[in-house]
Amino acid sequence: MAYLDGLKVTLLISFMAILLGIAIGVVVAILKVASSNYKIKWLTRICNIYINIIRGTPLMVQLLIIYNLIFNSRNTNELVIGAVCFGINSGAYVAEIIRAGIESIDKGQMEAGRSLGFNYIKTMRLIILPQAVKNILPALGNEFIVLIKETSVAGVIAVTDLTKAAQYVGSRTWDILPPLIIAALCYLVIVMGLSRLLSVFERRLSKGDRH
Amino acid sequence: MAYLDGLKVTLLISFMAILLGIAIGVVVAILKVASSNYKIKWLTRICNIYINIIRGTPLMVQLLIIYNLIFNSRNTNELVIGAVCFGINSGAYVAEIIRAGIESIDKGQMEAGRSLGFNYIKTMRLIILPQAVKNILPALGNEFIVLIKETSVAGVIAVTDLTKAAQYVGSRTWDILPPLIIAALCYLVIVMGLSRLLSVFERRLSKGDRH
Amino acid sequence: MIVTKNLKKAFGDHMVLKGIDETIEKGEKVVVIGPSGSGKSTFLRCLNLLEVPTEGEIWFEDINITDSKENINLIRRKMGMVFQQFNLFPHLSVKQNITLAPVKLGIMTKEEADRKAMELLKRIGLTEKADAYPNQLSGGQKQRIAIIRSLAMNPDVMLFDEPTSALDPEMVGEVLDLMVQLAEEGMTMVVVTHEMQFAKKVGTRVLFMDEGKIVEQNTPDQFFDNPTHPRLKEFLSKVL
Amino acid sequence: MIVTKNLKKAFGDHMVLKGIDETIEKGEKVVVIGPSGSGKSTFLRCLNLLEVPTEGEIWFEDINITDSKENINLIRRKMGMVFQQFNLFPHLSVKQNITLAPVKLGIMTKEEADRKAMELLKRIGLTEKADAYPNQLSGGQKQRIAIIRSLAMNPDVMLFDEPTSALDPEMVGEVLDLMVQLAEEGMTMVVVTHEMQFAKKVGTRVLFMDEGKIVEQNTPDQFFDNPTHPRLKEFLSKVL
Amino acid sequence: ACGTKEKNEKLIVGTEAGFAPYEYMEGDEVVGVDMDIAKAIAESMGKELEIKNMDFDGALLAVQNGTVDFVAAGVSVNEERKKVMDFSVDYVDSVEVVVVNKDNPAVADVEDLDDKVIGVQQGNIADFWVEDNVNAKEIKRYTKFAQAAEDLKNGRIDCIVMDQFPAEELVAANQELAILDGILFEDKYAIAVKKGNKELLDEINSVIEQLKEDGKIEEFYANHTSKN
Ligand SMILES: Nc1ncnc2c1ncn2[C@@H]1O[C@H](COP(=O)(O)OP(=O)(O)OP(=O)(O)O)[C@@H](O)[C@H]1O
Ligand SMILES: Nc1ncnc2c1ncn2[C@@H]1O[C@H](COP(=O)(O)OP(=O)(O)OP(=O)(O)O)[C@@H](O)[C@H]1O
Ligand SMILES: [Mg+2]
Ligand SMILES: [Mg+2]
């Protein structure tokens, strides 16, 4: 039962965090692509600072800092805390996924759109983004899987996720290996299940449209 | 001083782990590529099981399991313990890096080698691998950077790395945030410094040889 | 119709176009040939500002389009462009590829655009591909769709950048046929190509570019029979 | 010299070669043409077992090379292969590209191989490129180096798969010239190409492939002037 | 369902559930002596108790920045801590002991800790005491006693310094381990609240006094130690 509750926490935090991460990531990616296109240097720089700090420091340290910096209100739900911490982290990675997705589209597509008379934004919206989504969705699925694994350090900020639940079972029985192995199996089943799902989904996406 | 000691531990563990990871990774990658080429199913399967387990479970859980499972000798240095745990983890990722490096070489190269009369192994050694190294080295550098960040969870196995050192300073002074921020800055400087170094190195590699 | 004045373009410190003064009149079919890297594509792409010139002016229908106050998006509607790599939109059906710009730019209603698209498809004998996706087409079919996609905007001039270089030899003919038809209907055309037969047959003028300059130009007959510039002589001796 | 008996090749359940019986004699220059996807490359690649046939036999100099007891690596030394994409080794200099196989396979000493390489480079007028790397060469130079890389092994037959398709038009000539020379020296050649002029000039026999079969073959004169199969007639009408 | 009113009715306690019998997991619930006391406090205040299970030093920080109302986690009182938080009357006198590997006691005597590898819980009073009073070879800081116990069994550390009651739980569950005779130092546990939260402190003090009077605390102990 402790495992089940922990698992629920793990999945819920991952899920809320990826949603928040997507929200942050979309905004940052668009700001970054647009600001570099229109040469607004300071905006590009702000986006890069956020991305570099998140990608340049360990998740665990970020977690501890965000937790101690932001959350001083006693009424915040621990799930929300976890989701916000991981979401802020994930946002930087999602932003890069989206940017890469946009840049993966052959630049002939932008040129074809522009030469028909569309402006930059309309070409993005009508031609580039609809194609980029096909590259972005699988990568986002992957990021979600990564998040599930990463939330295993959530224990340091008072969240009882699957890993922490297993550790406590071990604390009680003074036999720490079996609960950890059970937890590892849980993660493995979930991660591999999702991976398989993802690759089926990916194959579906690419089938209709090979170019 | 506590920071410096912690930093040294972090860097040493990362460094030894990447060496071990490379050793494991090279063996696994070669076994995997060769066994799939010569259709030795069981060997491919063993390699895949190792890779899937490592990539399908959280590092922290692996760390706890490996630590409690393997090390029963009291005289093992904590650095060695950390390096072995992280090295086993890293090996799976390095194996995939090497495999991808080999597969990134245009298959026309293998065909050209074979059609001159070289056998599979000689073509690998004389033609494919020398080219693959150019793709593999930068990715290995990246893996090293990832490792530096990941060792921040080493604290759970009572290794006093940079993160744990910062946490301890915090719990002693009752002011947890400043030490964490110092630690974050240390990581940031190291990670971004190494990234910059890496991209210089990468540019050097690709300069002589654009094809 | 199109006038370039001292047109220069540099990428970094690599000077690719070194000052081009050209006038292209309405109804002309100008063929541009030259060795690889001589700047043919860059010249063509400057004409509709896909590349922004470093120096010089480009006038189109008496508008200075290099003037930053002009809305280049409006001007581009009048200049069709066909690429070597087709650049069809893979996520849209053939018909949607053709109707996207007219409809979304508010030039036609959906119905008008659909009717126009079917008309154009009928013309090239591909009505049955209206609902197919680009990946289901052969190279020759793709390029012909790309051409009528541009035609759907009723352009005043069509720019072609090696439209047949990415095609299997068997499919070159069908694309050239369509281009010949366009030429016969009086379309103003600027065509970068290696198809000398096409240049001879439909060109009204042939330009030879070398190292960022137009070093020789003439009517096709004179151009191919009496080349004067040594670089052109060498070039023709190799490709004919 | 090469005999195929009921040669078949399938990728999955897609039958690409549907039974080919051919004999290529020493000294012949066989040109293979046909539409895209008809199996020309697959046929050529089967000849040196780069593709393993699904069915049938291939005999080379009275050895059944499809017999798994034969050491294909030894046989391939006698069959040079030239690819559309050149496939030079980018990490090795031009000279190293040429000497790698003779030296590492123990056929020549380093000195012999170097001497041979310089001889071959001299022949194509590229001695000054001996220490250059492939990325410093033009397409035509790359392909000529690829050809002499094969020649360095003293092969008995040379297989060419569209050797000029990836080249700028200006460079096609220099590669064809080298191939003509080889032909004149008596090399046995099998050439997949779209260069009809070459076929007419040096071919001793032209094969037309369609949908995995050789549907017509003849001397170049007869082949181009009196095609009989309707698919061949259609094909020639398009590409000539 | 949870209106603003109910939110205000919540009393949050921070703890670290790896310290039986004071606090530990039973199924997915945190129970133990401290939790029984916390429940009594909440009951007397008419509020709903919420338990936050955190790292030990994390819990002490949480009470300082108000994320939790009080910490009941076998918190020892010392001068350093008194500067940053307020403490209730102590509800238990505890002694700190040394746990060793029975078959291979690397430590012979409680006085003999110099130059040894000593395991403690990070942020626990023993952590500071050992740091200040012992010339240890190395102090290994764990977040969970269970991990320390595992390492002691495997000979990776020489001993663990910890509270007597949890130590007894520990040796009861692990035949290989034993508690050395003699005590290291004495120690009092109290409940910690945010500095200046006089109102809550008074409330807690009166409940603890009442529990002591009624002999409830011994009862709690009995409940949680008899289980093993
Ligand atoms: N975006 C770019 N950035 C940098 N250099 C460029 C760019 N586009 C073209 N060039 C360079 O400009 C020169 C002329 O290129 P361009 O594509 O106009 O030649 P071209 O005559 O069309 O050749 P081809 O026949 O190969 O298409 C080349 O040296 C090319 O490398
Ligand atoms: N490795 C492969 N796996 C699957 N199908 C293949 C493979 N190689 C070739 N084919 C298929 O076999 C058919 C014949 O291919 P092949 O390359 O021999 O044609 P080709 O006559 O050389 O055409 P082209 O003129 O385009 O080079 C094609 O339909 C192709 O898609
Ligand atoms: Mg061009
Ligand atoms: Mg082919």
Q: Is E182 on the interface with A (CB under 8 A)?
A: no
Collect the ranges in chain C with pLDDT lower than 70.
none
The predicted pLDDT at position A155 comes to 78
The residue ranges of DSSP E strands in chain C, in sequence order, are 2-11, 14-24, 29-33, 55-60, 63-64, 79-82, 157-161, 188-192, 205-210, 213-218
Distance CA D192, CA A175 (A): 71
Q: Ligand 4 centre and the CA of D35: distance in Å?
A: 9
Distance CA C160, CA C205 (A): 15
Distance CA A170, CA E143 (A): 13
Chains E and C touch (3+ CB pairs under 8 A): no
Q: What angle do CA A167, A172, A176 make, to 5 degrees?
A: 45
**What's the pLDDT tens digit per position in B18-44?**
999 999 999 999 899 888 877 888 999
Per cent of chain B over pLDDT 70 is 94
Taking CA atoms, E98 is separated from C100, D168, E153, in Å, by 80, 84, 14
Contact: D90, B131; criterion CB under 8 Å: yes
Q: Residues B83-96: what's their mean pLDDT?
A: 94
For the cut 60, the answer to whether the pLDDT of residue B108 exceeds it is: yes
List, chain by chain if needed, residues with CB within 6 Å of any ligand 1 atom: C 11, 14, 16, 34, 36-42
Q: How confident is the model at residue B175 (pLDDT cuts 50, 70, 90)?
A: confident
Lowest pLDDT segment from A116-125, A168-177, E118-127, E210-219: A168-177
**Tokens, residue D227:** 């095609």
Q: Ligand 3 centre and the CA of A101: distance in Å?
A: 27
The predicted pLDDT at position E7 comes to 46
Q: How confident is the model at residue E62 (pLDDT cuts 50, 70, 90)?
A: confident
The predicted pLDDT at position B211 comes to 42
Contact: A118, C77; criterion CB under 8 Å: no
List, chain by chain if needed, residues with CB within 6 Å of any ligand 2 atom: D 11, 14, 16, 34, 36-42
**Tokens, residue A36:** 């570099």
Q: Considering only CB atoms, which chain A residues are within 8 Å of E52?
A: 78, 158
Question: For residues B109-127, b (16+ Cβ closer than 10 Å) or e, as one string?
Answer: bbbbbbbbbbeeebbbebb
Contact: C87, A108; criterion CB under 8 Å: yes
Q: Is A118 on the interface with C (CB under 8 A)?
A: yes
Q: How confident is the model at residue E1 (pLDDT cuts 50, 70, 90)?
A: very low
Q: Is C101 on the interface with A (CB under 8 A)?
A: yes
CA distance between the termini of chain D = 32
For the cut 80, the answer to whether the pLDDT of residue A77 exceeds it is: no
Nearest CA to ligand 2 atom 22: D41
Distance CA E31, CA E21 (A): 8
Collect the ranges in chain D with pLDDT lower than 50.
none
The predicted pLDDT at position B209 comes to 53
Q: Considering only CB atoms, which chain B residues are within 8 Å of A152?
A: 58-61
For the cut 70, the answer to whether the pLDDT of residue B102 exceeds it is: yes
For the cut 80, the answer to whether the pLDDT of residue A14 exceeds it is: yes
The predicted pLDDT at position B208 comes to 53
Select the residue from A10, A59, A61 to test the B interface by mutation, using most B Cβ atoms within 10 A: A61
A163 with A155: CB under 8 angstroms? yes
Q: Please, which residues have CB within 8 angstroms of residue D69's CB and are 6 or more apart in sequence?
A: none
ipTM above 0.90, yes or no: no
Please choose from C8, C9, C16, C211 the residue to mutate so as to test ligand 1's pocket, defined by most ligand atoms within 8 A of CB: C16
The predicted pLDDT at position A76 comes to 67
Cβ-in-10-Å burial (0-12, 13-18, 19+) of C184 comes to exposed
Q: Is E74 on the interface with B (CB under 8 A)?
A: no
The predicted pLDDT at position A126 comes to 95
Nearest residue of B to residue A147 by CA position?
Answer: B58
The predicted pLDDT at position E140 comes to 86
Q: Is D233 on the interface with C (CB under 8 A)?
A: no
Considering only CA atoms, which of A87, A152, E99 is closest in space to residue B156?
A: A152
The predicted pLDDT at position A153 comes to 87
Select the residue from C87, C99, C108, C162 to test the A interface by mutation, using most A Cβ atoms within 10 A: C87
